[in-house]
Amino acid sequence: MQTIKTFGVIGTGIIGAGWAARALARGLNVLAFDPGADAQDRLRDNLAQVWPVLERTGLFPGASVDRIRFCDSLEEVALGAQFIQESAPERIELKTTLHAQIDAAAPADVLIASSTSGLLPSEFQSHCAHPGRVMVGHPFNPVYLLPLVEVLGGEQTDADNIERAVALYRDLGMYPLKVRSEVPGFLSDRLQEALWREILHLVNDDVATPEELDAAICYGPGLRWALWGACQIFHVAAQPGGMGQFLKHFDPSLFPWTHLEPPKITDELVDKMHSGCERLAGDAPIDELERVRDDALIGILEALQQRNLGAGAVLNQHQKRIRESVDSDSD
């Protein structure tokens, strides 16, 4: 059942535009605000680019890019939306100010979520008059395709409001993962950071290039990660004893390979990383690479749908609800 009619977006960069696209595909109205001079044009261009992707994954009845309205102020969004997703830059002072402004303007029953990748909700809800409705809803890029959203509250967030947000995100076709402890970086970014740290060390120490490290991921473990996480993968790999046997044979303390601290980000390291990534991209512009990425992601999702695994199972449920909604409208 559709839980709201109007979705609010504060900040319309890559993440904010992704939220707008996902909400529009659900058949919702969207109110958006961003103080950037060309923000409205960039948002419209972004939606035009990704809409064909959403047509492939499924649109609810009434879904249209025409259902978005770019507002003149943050307060206009806050007054008109029934759920507000903030996707401003990762600066705690800015987040704190924005959430206080949104909280002051929005009706008391409207939930307010931040797309922050790692800032703690207890910090940016501290200046709100109604902190119980303020939380984190951390998505992954591209938001309109990847279903995961990490949901967590701060010290003052009401548990009932977390459940309301989970229900809304699920209604948008997402996989809401409740993070039970308020920790910096949450879950997925903590895991990604560990991998990213090792990549920087290996490049910095001239052990490997960015191209070689990407190959080490996408031709091997990356393929497995699409259907299972590391725990399930290693559990299956250690047959017949499973994870218990795996840990006995591969105790991480026996293999002190990794670095626990990141390397210093020097100009030399930046140049190595950037030049390597430029070689990986070749002559293709970023918007073309985005189209390649989205097309490949849809192919992976479709393959997972056939086995009802992982993100494919989430998409199966979402498309089932679209069909039911279409049938309901035709009755």
226-237 residue pLDDT tens: 888 888 888 888
Whose CA is closest to 34, among 51, 25, 22, 46? 46
CA distances from 195 to 112, 217, 255, 261 (A): 31, 10, 16, 12
Q: What is the pLDDT of residue 1?
A: 41
Q: In one letter, which amino acid is 242?
A: G
Mean pLDDT across 308-314: 91
Quick one: pLDDT at residue 117? 94
Q: Give residue 197's pLDDT.
A: 93
d(CA 267, CA 265): 7
Pairing assessment for the beta strands 29-33 and 134-139 based on DSSP bridges: unpaired
Mean pLDDT of 221-247: 83
- 148-153 and 134-139 as β-strands: parallel, antiparallel, unpaired? antiparallel
Number of H helices, E strands in the chain: 14, 8
Token pair recorded at residue 304: 């997972």
pLDDT at residue 2 greater than cutoff 60: no
| C-alpha to C-alpha distance for 109 and 103, rounded to whole angstroms | 10
DSSP secondary structure string for all residues of 87-133: ---S-HHHHHHHHHHHHHHS-TT-EEEE--SS--HHHHTTT-S-GGG
Q: Which helix (H) or strand (E) holds 178?
A: strand 175-178
Map tokens 């409001």 to a residue.
Answer: 161
Structure tokens at 302: 């479709």
pTM for the structure as a whole: 0.91
Residue 28 CA, chain-centre distance (Å), reads 19
User: Stretch 120-131: mean pLDDT, rounded?
Assistant: 95
What does the pLDDT average to over 195-208?
95
Among the ranges given (28-37, 72-81, 214-223), the one the predictor scored with the smallest mean pLDDT: 214-223
Cis amide linkage into residue 221, ω under 30° from 0: no
Q: How far is CA 145 from CA 15, 108, 174, 255, in A?
A: 12, 31, 9, 37
Ordered by where they begin, the domains of the chain are 6-178 (3.40.50.720), 188-330 (1.10.1040.10)
Residue 294 to residue 147: CA distance in whole angstroms: 13
Whole-number average pLDDT of the chain? 92
Measured distance CA(24)–CA(78) in Å, rounded? 18
Q: Is the peptide bond before 262 cis (omega within 30 degrees of 0)?
A: no
Percent with pLDDT over 90 in the chain: 75
Token pair listed for 31: 């109110």
Q: What is the token pair recorded at 127?
A: 């200046």
60 pLDDT above the threshold of 50: yes
Amino acid 254: pLDDT: 58
Confidence of residue 142 (pLDDT cuts 50, 70, 90): very high
Q: Is the pLDDT of residue 183 over 90?
A: yes
**How many Cβ atoms sit within 10 Å of the Cβ of residue 261?**
7
Query: What would the two tokens of residue 330 be?
Result: 């035709």
Determine what percent of the chain is predicted with pLDDT higher than 70: 97
